[in-house]
Structure 1
Amino acid sequence: MSRFNQRRARPAAGSPVTSVDERTTTHEGGAGHLRDTRSELFLLAVSNFVGANAFYEKGDERDERYRSLVRELAIEDPAWVAGLLKWLRGEGNMRSAALVGAAEFTAERIVREAPGYSRQVIDSVLQRADEPGEFLGYWTGNYGRALPKPVKRGLADAARRLYTERSLLKYDTESKGYRFGDVLNLAHPAPAADKPWQGDLFEHAIDRRKKRGDEIPARLPLLLARQRLMATPVEQRRHILGTQPELLRAAGMTWEALAGWLQGPMDAEAWEAVIPSMGLMALCRNLRNFDEAGVRDAAAAQAAARIADPREVSRSRMLPFRFWAAYKHAPSLRWAHALEQALGHSLANVPALPGRTLILVDRSPSMFPGYGYSTPNASDITLAEQAAVFGSALAVRAANPSLVEFGMSSRLMHVPRGGSVLKLIEKFGRIAGTDIPTAVKQHFDRHDRIVVVTDEQTRPGWLPSNCADHGGMRETEIDELVPRTVPVYMWNMAGYRAGAMPSGGGNRHAMGGLTDQAFRTIPLIEAGRDATWPWV
């Protein structure tokens, strides 16, 4: 009898999130496995909305764990952390965690008198023009107004790259504690050599902050156009809106600025004038407003075409669950097809897995808001819904899926071939408790792989035992229920310290994050190739 050359045999492959030989328990008392420092930091970073409570972990405790891990690795492995933070703000699209990580990385290296990396790390995480001010707010709030050289130079590099006329109009508002002029005064950047107008922009931003002089330099045409538009008498503004909407675009008018400029309601005419210049995130967040204002079909079709455009989706870097949130809150169905297409484009890395795939989606209370748990996007979509987005996308594309929602009990869901991911998400419910081993035991039936989308905080799974303890039952784990020839992918959605199984090899792999990037590792691993960190 062949023991090794079997149909399921494949080259052993490793994955980057790696367990250590140390056991613990999950928050629900199940067997837990600790991971090495880099793995713990990665899973926490890709799921951590700074300052937000999690179901099992207070926001300040969570943030302190994150800061401690960053500072430890800032000395032990600075190149790895630099790569993580750059990727986190880029493809990972986690803004606050990246900024805080860069500040703590820099602070630790300054304390330890460790040269290098800090300037480049700060510059790499500042990807939007309001973020140098955000970084300054965090730094000065924690470390005072004195800025070390790496901080000044990183901020200066970012300011040269990010500060434009359009970004000044959009982000340099009086509601900010640190405005463009403050960043420029503290970091002292020289204008970029290939931007001859930037010196004038810097001077104007400082004057604007200090409320001195209204004269705008001739080399700043966008600001001049905005100034002329703002000087238009209020009673004439509706006329411009209807007859010369190109003036709005020439002046860089966002929908927020337009609402203030009109000094009246954003009716259908106002929305239709600004829709062509709105970004994808703004379009998706205002679908309800478009419907309530009565935007005409032609303008709605224009907005829908942009939402469905794969280039627009890629450029927006919107997290996939944002399209579900837009669908969920839009009152009409005229946006549904475009949002379905956009969601598909945002999930481009979800593979069409061959064979039979068991997909378990956690619907327990810890995946929903309540009991002190919240996320900054709680009004949009819960962790449970995020899990449903990814589980549904994987199921719709898989050759032969078994999609299961689970808690303490579980339910097999019907996956229509060629069906809608958005419609499938709507079918999920809510189930008390978390019991991963029992869900695996109930539904695993010679599948080629298992994917579990969860926060990993499982209760113990129980099997019959001859022992009288625990009512004749004994605790079990996934390894006992699933042969080692079958890969199990545990997708951690919350970044808690304890994992529900060991990972890193032996067909046991942990993934994490709120984007589809993690899915890229599955085909690699199953082809016998080691998966690496996503930025390597």
Structure 2
Amino acid sequence: MSRFNQRGVKPRVTSPVTTSGARTVTAEGGSGHLRDPRSELFLLAISNVVGTDTFYEKGGDRDDRYQRLVRRLAIEDPRWTAALLAWLRGDGNMRTAALVGAAEFTAERLRNDAPGYSRQVVGSVLQRPDEPGEFLAYWTSTFGRRLPKPVKRGVADAVQRLYSERSLLKYDTESKGYRFGDVLELVHPSPAADKPWQGDLFKHAIDRRHGRGDDIPAALRIVRGRAELMAVPVGNRRGLLGSGGGDRTDGTDGTDGSSRIAAAGMTWEALAGWLQGPMDKVAWETVIPSMGVFALVRNLRNFDRAGVSDEAAAQVAATICDPERVARSRMLPFRFWAAHKHVASLRWGHALDKALNLSLANVPALPGRTLILVDRSPSMFPGFGFSTPNSSDITLAEQAAVFGAALAVRAADPTLVEFGMRSRPVAVPKGGSVLRLIEKFGRIDGTDIPSAVKAHFRGHDRIVVVTDEQTRPGWFPSNASGHGGMRETEIDALVPKNVPVYMWNMAGYKAGAMPSGTGDRHTFGGLTDHAFGMIPLLESGRSASWPWER
């Protein structure tokens, strides 16, 4: 008799977020599972906004746990931790957690006289021109004014890569504690070999920091252009907008005002300040061609209020649903939902729906029958004195709904359910809009994942749960007849071992709701759609790795 070579046998697969075998309880008293340090840090890092309370954990406690894990793994597994921090600021799109993590990583390795990694880690997390100053502010306020060599060299590497005329004009403002000139004087970078103009830029940044930046080098054409525009009398500035430059008595040379504004690196924020008055129709239409996807989506309501033309609106719509522009923007999908929620005009609806779908390109079209459970309990909503991870205006519940709806719209045969202590199905129309489907979700008190599984699992091919994992115990009769009292039943026991359960963790709490990492029980994390790409990978019999190892 064949013992192993039987029909339906599947290869053993693993996923990276792994429970350790140790047990605990969830914040709501259900059976919980502890994860190994790398898994705990990963889930916490991708959902942690430094200094921010969550429903079950104070911001200070959360930050302490994050810092302890980073420091521990900086010594025990520096290669993995360095890769996590680089990915966190890159594809993970978590800015502050990455900066804090890099500083704590470096400080711990210096304390232990551990060579290597630190310079590279510091440089890898600095991806925006204002971040060298942000990093130095955190470092000096936490560890003192002394800057060790790995810090200086990592920041200097980033300065060479990031500092430009446009970044100077956008980010070097008097509101910052560490201006560009301060950073340059502290870390002493050399100009990049392929950027000969950086020498003049660095000198000018230091001069303007010390109030002597009026003499602008000829090589800095954008900075000079901005200075010329700033010299135009305030009363004459609005006349430069649009296609005309006005007569030469207004302080201009008569060239196209729109071109001059673009050539001077004017963002919409800078233009608003330069005008010293409202952004009207002409002002917006002047700057719209140079705006990126994020800025456009952020200002849809302002465009409507100003009454921009249909031609300008068509240009905006074409930009925000352009596949390449959406990919470059690295905008998280729920940002498009937030814009849809807040705009009153219908003219943006199709573009936002298309943009949302483009930003969810990695959500797979799952075959067979899929049960999708979306957590709508109070801990997924605001109103309890905390902000949600990675967003101050979009709740975890909305983020969960975005991804649950996207998965349902793409799935061949979905059962979409919202749950708390109770649960109810949400109808999924064929070929429906993700934005419209999100609007169907409500709010339900309590959190009981086992009961939702028991109520809706009917021989599905897989289960996906989008949640913060902090479930109450699932209480069911201790035998089939209903006699003999009630006992707690975990998710793992309610689903056959050969049916995959994918838990998508939204908040990074310490306790998990089920074992994970082997067999058909897997936990993912983060606010991007990359995690869902692991589902077909695992079901094809291939093990999943950390997202930066793909």
TM above 0.5: yes
Q: Is the 8 A contact 2:389 2:507 kept in 1?
A: no
Q: Deviations over 1:108-138 (max 9, x none)?
A: 0000010100000000000000000110111
Task: Tell me the distance in 2 between the aligned counterparts of 1:238 and 1:197.
Answer: 32
Q: Is the 8 A contact 2:156 2:188 kept in 1?
A: yes
Structure 1 residues 3, 394: closer, same or farther in 2, change over 3 A?
farther
Task: Tell me the distance in 2 between the aligned counterparts of 1:466 and 1:517.
Answer: 41
Structure 1 residues 213, 479: closer, same or farther in 2, change over 3 A?
closer
Task: Tell me the distance in 1 between the aligned counterparts of 2:201 and 2:331.
Answer: 30
TM-superposed CA distance for 1:271, in Å, is 0.6
Q: Deviations over 1:374-432 (max 9, x none)?
A: 23665531000000000000000000000000000001111011110000001100000
1:317 maps to which of 318, 330, 350: 330
Pair 1:449-2:462 in alignment: yes
Question: After superposition, where does 1:28-43 map in structure 2 within 5 Å?
Answer: 28-43=28-43
Structure 1 residues 7, 346: closer, same or farther in 2, change over 3 A?
farther
Opposite residue 58 of structure 1, the aligned amino acid is K
1:332 maps to which of 345, 351, 361: 345
Give the match's secondary structure for 1:334. Answer: helix
Task: Tell me the distance in 2 between the aligned counterparts of 1:534 and 1:427.
Answer: 32
Structure 1 residues 352, 5: closer, same or farther in 2, change over 3 A?
farther
Aligned residue for 1:190?
190
**Runs of 4 or more consecutive aligned structure 1 residues displaced over 6 Å after TM superposition:** 1-7
Pair 1:473-2:482 in alignment: no
Aligned residue for 1:350?
363
Aligned residue for 1:260?
273
Structure 1 residues 498, 470: closer, same or farther in 2, change over 3 A?
farther
Task: Tell me the distance in 2 between the aligned counterparts of 1:441 and 1:222.
Answer: 64
TM-superposed CA distance for 1:462, in Å, is 1.1
Aligned residue for 1:221?
221
Q: Is the 8 A contact 1:55 1:374 kept in 2?
A: no
Opposite residue 34 of structure 1, the aligned amino acid is L
Q: Deviations over 1:247-284 (max 9, x none)?
A: 11010101111111111111111111011111211111
Pair 1:116-2:103 in alignment: no
State how many pairs are aligned: 536
Aligned residue for 1:274?
287
Structure 1 residues 505, 466: closer, same or farther in 2, change over 3 A?
closer
Opposite residue 171 of structure 1, the aligned amino acid is Y
Aligned residue for 1:83?
83
1:363 maps to which of 376, 383, 405: 376
TM-superposed CA distance for 1:246, in Å, is 1.1
Q: Is the 8 A contact 1:10 1:527 kept in 2?
A: no
Give the match's secondary structure for 1:312. Answer: helix
Aligned residue for 2:546?
533
Pair 1:287-2:300 in alignment: yes
Could you tell me the percent identity over the aligned residues? Answer: 75
Pair 1:12-2:12 in alignment: yes
Give the match's secondary structure for 1:245. Answer: helix
Aligned residue for 1:505?
518
Task: Tell me the distance in 2 between the aligned counterparts of 1:400 and 1:2.
Answer: 35
Pair 1:411-2:418 in alignment: no
Q: Is the 8 A contact 2:388 2:394 kept in 1?
A: no
Task: Tell me the distance in 2 between the aligned counterparts of 1:485 and 1:533.
Answer: 23
Opposite residue 92 of structure 1, the aligned amino acid is G
TM-superposed CA distance for 1:6, in Å, is 7.2
Task: Tell me the distance in 2 between the aligned counterparts of 1:5 and 1:299.
Answer: 65
Pair 1:518-2:531 in alignment: yes
Q: Is the 8 A contact 2:17 2:35 kept in 1?
A: yes
Q: Is the 8 A contact 1:75 1:109 kept in 2?
A: yes
Unaligned runs of 5+ in 2: 245-256
Q: Deviations over 1:159-187 (max 9, x none)?
A: 00000000000000011111111110000
Q: Deviations over 1:62-121 (max 9, x none)?
A: 011000000000000000001001111000100011100000000000000101000000
Task: Tell me the distance in 2 between the aligned counterparts of 1:529 and 1:274.
Answer: 48
Task: Tell me the distance in 2 between the aligned counterparts of 1:131 and 1:519.
Answer: 30
Pair 1:161-2:161 in alignment: yes
Q: Deviations over 1:186-236 (max 9, x none)?
A: 000000011010000000000111112411000110001111111111222
2:449 maps to which of 416, 433, 436: 436
Task: Tell me the distance in 1 between the aligned counterparts of 2:87 and 2:515.
Answer: 25
Task: Tell me the distance in 2 between the aligned counterparts of 1:312 and 1:49.
Answer: 27
Give the match's secondary structure for 1:453. Answer: strand
Give the match's secondary structure for 2:269. Answer: helix
Task: Tell me the distance in 2 between the aligned counterparts of 1:466 and 1:324.
Answer: 45
Q: Is the 8 A contact 1:9 1:485 kept in 2?
A: no
Opposite residue 152 of structure 1, the aligned amino acid is K
Opposite residue 144 of structure 1, the aligned amino acid is G
Structure 1 residues 9, 447: closer, same or farther in 2, change over 3 A?
farther
Structure 1 residues 323, 97: closer, same or farther in 2, change over 3 A?
same
TM-superposed CA distance for 1:506, in Å, is 1.5
Q: Is the 8 A contact 1:11 1:527 kept in 2?
A: no
TM-superposed CA distance for 1:435, in Å, is 0.2
Task: Tell me the distance in 2 between the aligned counterparts of 1:238 and 1:9.
Answer: 72
Give the TM-score normalised by structure 1: 0.98
Unaligned runs of 5+ in 1: none
Task: Tell me the distance in 2 between the aligned counterparts of 1:172 and 1:471.
Answer: 71
Task: Tell me the distance in 2 between the aligned counterparts of 1:30 and 1:492.
Answer: 16
2:508 maps to which of 491, 495, 510: 495
Aligned residue for 2:405?
392
Give the match's secondary structure for 2:41. Answer: helix
Q: Deviations over 1:471-505 (max 9, x none)?
A: 92100001211000000000000000000000001
Task: Tell me the distance in 2 between the aligned counterparts of 1:31 and 1:4.
Answer: 33
Q: Is the 8 A contact 1:8 1:485 kept in 2?
A: no
